[in-house]
């Protein structure tokens, strides 16, 4: 039953009025004793009536008040639990008196004990510096207009933890001049963190934390709009690490991943804060230079990147030399939309690879035709290697400077194309290297050279040595040594009939691996030569440690040595150094008698070049051996 306190009070007042009226009546008209008796009786009756009518409701009121208190307590406890579970804290700030109160859950959210006195300024100071101006501006506007507000921002707690909250509230102003801010703050840290994780997965590369393809395209779009509005340019740079697949294949994907993370940091260090470095996939990176004035700005950044990478880098226990091929496309000159801009930068990068790697190329329309031609060559080369049809090995003789006899020959691959005829290595080796065809092509060259050595042995030329070039891709093949050993045994030739040549730059690529592989090859019994010596960055210390027998003087020093004193001095220095290390020397590119005589005089051991013989087929080489005087 619902109680009405006002009704009870009204009844009591009426009864008191009746009692007073009756007492007055008897006092005026009755005797003393009558007055006394009637008054007492009347009072008793009235009091009895009053007690009868009111004591019962008062008892009910007490009981109901106790139940109400219990209900209020339960609801307060329930509200507190609800706030804790929902991570919602409430607070109130009296704008006039400056008093500030917060709920238990608000204390917990702030990481404070309940005994801590929190003032309004203290509460605001928890706001992250980045969000503080925004939060203060929203509150000031709400106070000024007496309006509602809703905002999301970060709080920095005393335990160095950061949480994110969403606060909704209202400013209440009254006519008496009082004003309060009443609000609730919800902890939305999980929501923000989940959103950040989703964004990270959607827009960032999981390995390097660089922008991925989707985010890059979005930023290029925005940058193109900005460039159009401001009449500026932007550049897209497409980078591919040279010979990265070798690292994965030989050192493992763990080293490869560590290298990619390392390269990511190097690239970020070479660009501006407004630029975007992204990982496009594998070992491909794309850089957005968001606003440039001239093409020279992009060229400058490309040169910085290549200079930063052309050093020795320590990745775990490995010392690696890294180079990159870079293609650049400029907006608006080279493309008008995102996809074309990236595609043209990619085409320019392939042109850089075709030009010998470790260089930068800017897009030109003619490059598209080169890419189409390259794709056709790739397909035809793959078919030729698979069918072993059209891949031939030519041989160029080496001549001893003392006896003038043929000591051996260098095996040089040629491709006789069904439609285009003879194709030289410069036109297809780089494609084989970049497409993974080099391993199978290398096996085919080695097999042909071994068969030729066997044929020469059967003809009585068992002392001739066939030299075989190993590319970087072959040299890093984990099965290389085992394959060479097995094919020597299969065709029953002496290991001393074979020599393997690696370039000076390859020998310095990964010093520890180089030493291991050369040692294993030497253990088989084959000999090792360093090709193109003098053009790379050899460490004499490692040359001494490597099990090599021969240094080949690069043709660039031989070509002009009769007229250029510097080339002559370099050639002489290489020969003297080789002798001091008990190494033999071979001069490449000998084309005149004058060059041959000068090299003999210098003490070079063997000569190779067009003066004696150009590279010729195996049939022609056999005839050359039989008729050479």
Q: What is the pLDDT of residues 49-95, one digit of tens each?
A: 554 455 455 456 455 555 555 554 454 454 455 555 557 889 999 99
Kind of pairing, strands 162-173 and 148-156? Answer: antiparallel
H helices of 87-188, where? 104-110, 120-125, 132-145
Whole-number pLDDT of residue 11: 56
Q: Which of 395, 393, 401 is nearest to 587 (CA)?
A: 401
- Measured in degrees and rounded to the nearest 5, phi and psi for residue 419 equal -105, -40
SS3 276: strand
SS3 48: helix
Least confident of 105-109, 508-512, 584-588: 508-512
Whole-number pLDDT of residue 262: 94
More confident residue, 9 or 359: 359
Each residue of 580-602: b (16+ CB within 10 Å) or e?
Answer: eeebbbbbbbbeeeebbebbeeb
In sequence order, the β-bridge partners of residue 527 are 499
Tokens 């579970």 found at: 85
Pair 553, 536: CB distance under 8 Å: no
Question: Per residue in 449-487, pLDDT tens?
Answer: 999 999 999 999 989 999 999 988 888 788 999 999 999
Tokens read off for 191: 């929501």
Q: Which of 593, 595, 594, 590 is nearest to 396 (CA)?
A: 590
Percentage of the chain exceeding pLDDT 70: 83
Tokens 């080279």 found at: 334
Measured N-to-C along each axis, helices 565-580 and 593-602 cross at an angle, to the nearest 10 degrees, of 40
Tokens read off for 45: 């009756």
Tokens read off for 462: 């068992």
DSSP string, 189-241: HHHHHHHHHHHHHHHB-TTT--B-HHHHHHHHHHHHHHHHHHT-EEEEEEEEE
Whole-number pLDDT of residue 354: 76
SS3 361: strand
CA neighbours within 13 Å on the CB side: how many for 215? 19
Model confidence, pTM:
0.52
Maximum separation of any 2 CA atoms in the chain, in Å: 177
Question: Per residue in 119-143, pLDDT tens?
Answer: 999 999 999 999 999 999 999 999 9
- Measured in degrees and rounded to the nearest 5, phi and psi for residue 316 equal 65, -120
Radius of gyration of the chain (CA): 46
Q: Give every strand in the sheet of 233-241, ordered side by side.
A: 276-281, 284-292, 233-241, 324-331, 360-362
């Amino acid at each position: 039953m619902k109680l009405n306190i006002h009704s009870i009070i009204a009844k009591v007042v009426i009864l008191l009025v009746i009692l007073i009226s009756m007492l007055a009546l008897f006092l005026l008209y009755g005797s003393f004793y009558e007055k006394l008796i009637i008054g007492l009786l009347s009072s008793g009756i009235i009091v009895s009536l009053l007690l009868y009518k009111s004591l019962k409701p008062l008892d009910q009121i007490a009981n109901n008040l106790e139940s109400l208190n219990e209900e209020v307590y339960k609801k307060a406890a329930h509200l507190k639990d609800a706030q804790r579970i929902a991570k919602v804290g409430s607070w109130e700030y009296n704008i006039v008196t400056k008093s500030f109160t917060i709920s238990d859950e608000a204390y917990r959210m702030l990481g404070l004990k309940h005994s801590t006195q929190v003032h309004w300024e203290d509460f605001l100071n928890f706001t992250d510096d980045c969000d503080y101006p925004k939060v203060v501006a929203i509150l000031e506007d709400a106070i000024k207009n007496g309006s509602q507000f809703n905002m999301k921002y970060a709080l920095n707690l005393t335990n160095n933890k950061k949480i994110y909250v969403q606060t909704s509230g209202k400013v209440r102003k009254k006519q008496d001049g009082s004003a309060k801010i009443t609000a609730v703050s919800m902890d939305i840290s999980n929501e923000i963190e989940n959103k950040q994780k989703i964004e990270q997965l959607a827009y960032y590369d999981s390995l390097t934390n660089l922008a991925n393809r989707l985010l890059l395209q979005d930023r290029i779009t925005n940058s193109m709009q900005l460039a159009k509005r401001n009449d500026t340019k932007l550049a897209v740079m497409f980078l591919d690490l040279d010979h990265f697949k070798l690292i994965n294949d030989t050192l493992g994907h763990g080293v490869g991943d560590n290298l990619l993370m390392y390269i990511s940091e190097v690239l970020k260090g070479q660009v501006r804060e407004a630029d975007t470095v992204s990982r496009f996939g594998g070992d491909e990176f794309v850089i957005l230079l968001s606003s440039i004035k001239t093409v020279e700005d992009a060229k400058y950044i490309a040169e910085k990147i290549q200079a930063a990478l052309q050093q020795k880098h320590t990745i775990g226990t490995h010392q690696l030399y890294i180079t990159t091929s870079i293609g650049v496309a400029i907006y608006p000159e080279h493309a008008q939309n995102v996809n074309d801009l990236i595609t043209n930068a990619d085409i320019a990068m392939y042109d850089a690879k075709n030009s010998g790697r470790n260089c930068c190329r800017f897009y030109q329309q003619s490059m598209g035709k080169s890419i189409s031609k390259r794709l056709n060559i790739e397909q035809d080369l793959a078919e030729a290697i698979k069918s072993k049809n059209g891949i031939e090995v030519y041989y160029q003789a080496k001549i001893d400077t003392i006896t003038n006899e043929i000591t051996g020959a260098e095996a040089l691959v040629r491709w006789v194309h069904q439609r285009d005829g003879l194709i030289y290595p410069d036109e297809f080796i780089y494609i084989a290297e970049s497409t993974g065809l080099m391993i199978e092509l290398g096996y085919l060259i080695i097999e042909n050279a071994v068969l030729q050595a066997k044929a020469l042995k059967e003809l009585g030329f068992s002392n001739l040595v066939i030299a075989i070039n190993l590319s970087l891709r072959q040299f890093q093949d984990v099965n290389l040594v085992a394959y060479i050993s097995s094919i020597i045994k299969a065709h029953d030739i002496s290991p001393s009939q074979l020599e393997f040549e690696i370039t000076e730059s390859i020998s310095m690529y990964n010093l520890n691996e180089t030493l291991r592989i050369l040692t294993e090859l030497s253990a088989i019994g084959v000999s090792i030569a360093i090709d193109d010596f003098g053009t790379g960055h050899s460490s004499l210390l490692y040359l001494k440690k490597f099990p090599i027998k021969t240094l080949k003087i690069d043709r660039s020093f031989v070509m002009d040595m009769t007229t250029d004193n510097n080339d002559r001095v370099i050639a002489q220095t290489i020969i003297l150094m080789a002798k001091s290390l008990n190494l033999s020397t071979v001069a490449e590119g000998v084309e005149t008698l004058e060059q041959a005589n000068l090299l003999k005089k210098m003490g070079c051991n063997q000569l190779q070049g067009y003066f004696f013989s150009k590279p010729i087929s195996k049939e022609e080489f056999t005839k050359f051996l039989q008729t050479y005087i």
